[in-house]
Amino acid sequence: GAVVSQHPSWVICKSGTSVKIECRSLDFQATTMFWYRQFPKQSLMLMATSNEGSKATYEQGVEKDKFLINHASLTLSTLTVTSAHPEDSSFYICSATFSGEEQYFGPGTRLTVT
C-alpha cells in the first residue's frame, strides 16, 4: 500500500513554455503533499508543502509565481513550472503523507528545458 505516482516520468520542453507535473496518491488520501527538487548528485531540497484546499507554503528562496502548486483533492497535487528556463532542469519528486509519520515518495519527474 501507500503508492504515489507522478506523471509524466520525464518531459522535455522549450525555454519559455510551462510544464505541469502531477502527483497522485493511488491508495490513500493524502493530508499533505510535498514537492522537492534534486539536482544531479545532490540531495533533495524541499520546495513547498501542499495541503488540500489551501495555499501551498513555499520554502525560502522558492518563487511561488514560478512554481505554481495546486492541491485540488486529497489524492492529487500538481506543480506547474511557468516560463521554464534551462536552469529549471532538474528531477522533481513529490511525496504524500496521511499519518504524519512517514512520507511516501513518488518516482520523480525528470524535466529538461532546452
- Contacts with other proteins by CB under 8 A lie at 4, 32, 34, 41-46, 49, 57, 91, 93, 95, 97, 100, 102-103, 105-108, 110
Of 30 and 113, which has the nearer Cβ to other proteins?
30
How far apart CA 69 and CA 57 sit, in angstroms, is 9
For residue 34, the minimal CB distance to other proteins (Å) is 7
Of 34 and 67, which has the nearer Cβ to other proteins?
34
Of 20 and 110, which has the nearer Cβ to other proteins?
110
Per-residue burial over 35-55, b if 16 or more Cβ lie within 10 Å, else e, is bbbeeeeeeeeebbebebeee
> Which amino acid belongs to residue 66?
K
